Structure 1
Amino acid sequence: MLELAWPWFLLLLPAPIIMYFLPSAKPKGEGIWWGNSAQLAQYQDNKVMSGRLSWSYVCLFMAWVLLILAISRPVWFGEPTKVTPSGRDLLIALDLSGSMQVTDMTLNDQTANRLDAAKSVLSDFIQERRGDRIGIIVFGTKAYLQAPLSFDTKTINQLVQETQIGFAGEQTAIGDAIGLGIKRLEDRPSDQKVLILMTDGANTAGRVQPLQAAAFAATQNVRVHTIGIGADSMIVQGFFGPKAVNPSSDLDETLLRNIAAQTGGEYFRAKSTDELRAIYQTLDALEPTPSEDIWQRPLTSLFHWLGLGSLAFLALALLASNALSFNRKGLTDLTKRGQS
């Protein structure tokens, strides 16, 4: 559908026609006098070329019409499209320390390490968060921003799948990861700032203590949900045969509970891939995305195209006028040569 922002400018369209029919300033009964036969011949040639002159007038009129239409600012409204409104800014802090390579999880009925299980569950979780801006923080000995907050969940998911154990070091800097998350969320509305921190160990590195970072997160209205990942029992082959061990003995559950409690979040314990998947389903319910879609119609301004069209017709009018002047000069030279 086409609409005009300033339709009253269309009143100027007939201005050239009105000016054409206005009374002439010179009397119509003016006599015609030719000083010699050369002037008479030139007058007749001008009558022959009047057709070319009329094309110049047509181009000028078209340039005027397109200019007035451009000034009226026509806008084309496209078909309505569905747009999911902006939801939360959600950062996911993923532990890449050396302990994440422990194979105490299952994936597709096969043994898998903790990171592979986490990436599989995160992939489904990210794809379901339509309308949210999602970012990824990876941490080990240090914390790094793997992917800034973005609506492009496809790219975010790809970056998650590209993470590898040891990218950020072998130790675990939980406090630095929380601090980096606070920094990336500081300019966002207070009711939209969420950090999900997933780890399998205790804080063993970093410059910031986790509880200090959690206290500061609470002042900045950043809600931190913590997830402790790792089985509590697995069979390993020892010197005297198979034996049961606790692969999550280094997990500091007390710390993770305190971090969540200080910031208004929840603590979850994932002992298997299915439990981890259920946790992210719970988080999806705790931090819902907008349920109502917004319909909008794209707008396309035609001002530039009409303006370019007006300039093109003006150029054609100038070319026609210059060609007419050149032909006149050539005819005058031929007449003088004929007289001589």
Structure 2
Amino acid sequence: MLENIQFANPQFFWLLLMLPLAMVWYIFNRKKDSASLKISSIKGFKAGNSILPKLKPILYVLRLLALTALITALARPQTKDVSTRTKTTKGIDIVMAIDVSSSMLAKDLKPDRLSALKEVASEFIKGRPNDRIGLVVYSGESFTKTPITSDKSIVLRALNEINHGIIEDGTAIGMGLATSVNRLKESKALSKVIILLTDGVNNAGFIEPQTASELAVEFGIKTYTIGLGSNGMALTPVAYNLDGSFRFGYRDVEIDEKLLTEVAEVTGGKYFRATNNEKLEEIYEEINKLEKTEIEEFKYTNYEEKFRPLAILAGLLLMMELALRYTIFRSFI
């Protein structure tokens, strides 16, 4: 309970420094507090054994406690309850276009390119609670895996289900981009973004990437492109074994960076190159910073004053002191 208490006027606690001074003053002047009588002999008086004179300092203790309670009340102890309400003032609709060609199983990223992408993209999605996100996958063709939605659990589940082999092999960059544009063209969001990732060159599909990028410009859609793959050689699927599994061999990493840069610049986005897991994470973090959703936050603060019980306690202590002074201790004061 005490950990939630704060004081509106803590400067009044400086008055507590007077209490030690008052105690010192009382110690040096307590003998003057009682009347004295000088006589030549006390033989005629019977010594009493009353304990009341020894308890008289209680009156001063009660006064000090009353002053302490009063000073604390002046400091205005109070509890503060803060409630917040957020309002999204600028929503962003995002479509993530993911290459699922066989080359995405290359092992230059750990454990492979597609698995590394899914892990990083998952964190990106979790970090966009106020935006709608959709998924498009492409290889030799393209299709919408998940329309844009605010339900992140659906998007994350769909992302986890993405694997190579769900469509014919190839790299149809233009098709992937065009399908993403089609998902966003009817969006009413103030900002529309495509994050297109590939690890190869456009070698399939019937829509050219330049044509798809022109469509993106027409509908006001910004495109960030990511080239995924290390520099040089990478352990990549090169053929099938008899049991249907892939046979891996080293091949040159070919990414059409000129095309990806052109698509990004034409649509107002930016091109990135991810050569390892760490770089891929940095790229998504940078995109996350570049595309910020504007959120307006309203704070409501409710203060509850707690000084009244202390003021009442101070009054009761003073009344108790006065009552004792003029009743029980009257004959000794």
TM-score, normalised relative to structure 1: 0.56
Instruction: List aligned pairs for 1:160-239, cutoff 5 A.
Output: 160-189=159-188, 191-234=190-233
What is residue 279 of structure 1 aligned with on the other side?
283
Report SS of the residue matched to 2:194.
Answer: strand
Gaps of 5+ in 2: 1-82, 237-248, 300-333
Paired residues of 1:147 and 1:159 also in contact (CA < 8 A): yes
Do residues 292 (structure 1) and 291 (structure 2) align?
no
Instruction: List aligned pairs for 1:57-206, cutoff 5 A.
Output: 82=85, 85=88, 87-106=91-110, 112-189=111-188, 191-206=190-205
Indicate how the Cα distance of structure 1 residues 126 and 150 shifts in structure 2: closer, same or farther if over 3 A, else same: same
Give, in angstroms, the shift of residue 190 of structure 1.
6.7
Instruction: List aligned pairs for 1:27-46, cutoff 5 A.
Output: none
Give, in angstroms, the shift of residue 233 of structure 1.
3.4
Give, in angstroms, the shift of residue 148 of structure 1.
0.8
What is residue 266 of structure 1 aligned with on the other side?
270
Give % identity.
34
Q: Which moved more, 1:264-273 or 1:176-185?
A: 176-185
Instruction: List aligned pairs for 1:302-317, cutoff 5 A.
Output: none
- Take 2:87 and 2:146, find their aligned partners in 1: how far apart are those partners? 21
- Take 2:286 and 2:234, find their aligned partners in 1: how far apart are those partners? 30
- Report how many aligned residue pairs link the two structures: 206
Give, in angstroms, the shift of residue 83 of structure 1.
5.2
- Take 1:236 and 1:149, find their aligned partners in 2: how far apart are those partners? 34
TM-score, normalised relative to structure 2: 0.58
Indicate how the Cα distance of structure 1 residues 262 and 221 shifts in structure 2: closer, same or farther if over 3 A, else same: same
- Take 2:281 and 2:101, find their aligned partners in 1: how far apart are those partners? 21
Give, in angstroms, the shift of residue 215 of structure 1.
1.4
Indicate how the Cα distance of structure 1 residues 199 and 294 shifts in structure 2: closer, same or farther if over 3 A, else same: farther
Paired residues of 1:233 and 1:245 also in contact (CA < 8 A): no
Paired residues of 1:96 and 1:169 also in contact (CA < 8 A): no
Report SS of the residue matched to 2:296.
Answer: coil
Give, in angstroms, the shift of residue 234 of structure 1.
4.7
Give, in angstroms, the shift of residue 82 of structure 1.
4.2
What is residue 74 of structure 1 aligned with on the other side?
none
Give, in angstroms, the shift of residue 294 of structure 1.
6.6
Report Cα offsets for 1:65-107 as digits up to 9, x if no partner: xxxxxxxxxxxxxxx884552620000000001110111112x
Considering fraction of residues, name the structure with more strand. Answer: 2
> Which runs of at least 4 in structure 1 moved beyond 6 Å after TM superposition?
none
Q: Which amino acid aligns with 2:143?
A: Y
- Take 2:135 and 2:175, find their aligned partners in 1: how far apart are those partners? 14
Indicate how the Cα distance of structure 1 residues 160 and 236 shifts in structure 2: closer, same or farther if over 3 A, else same: closer
Paired residues of 2:91 and 2:190 also in contact (CA < 8 A): no
Report SS of the residue matched to 1:105.
Answer: coil
Paired residues of 1:230 and 1:247 also in contact (CA < 8 A): no
Report SS of the residue matched to 1:291.
Answer: strand
Q: Which amino acid aligns with 1:230?
A: G
Report SS of the residue matched to 1:118.
Answer: helix
Gaps of 5+ in 1: 1-79, 107-111, 238-243, 296-340
Report SS of the residue matched to 1:187.
Answer: coil
Indicate how the Cα distance of structure 1 residues 125 and 236 shifts in structure 2: closer, same or farther if over 3 A, else same: closer
Q: Which amino acid aligns with 1:255?
A: L
Report SS of the residue matched to 1:89.
Answer: strand
Do residues 252 (structure 1) and 256 (structure 2) align?
yes
- Take 1:95 and 1:88, find their aligned partners in 2: how far apart are those partners? 22
Paired residues of 1:98 and 1:169 also in contact (CA < 8 A): no
Give, in angstroms, the shift of residue 267 of structure 1.
0.1
Give, in angstroms, the shift of residue 220 of structure 1.
1.3
Report SS of the residue matched to 2:107.
Answer: coil
Report SS of the residue matched to 1:202.
Answer: coil
- Take 2:85 and 2:251, find their aligned partners in 1: how far apart are those partners? 50
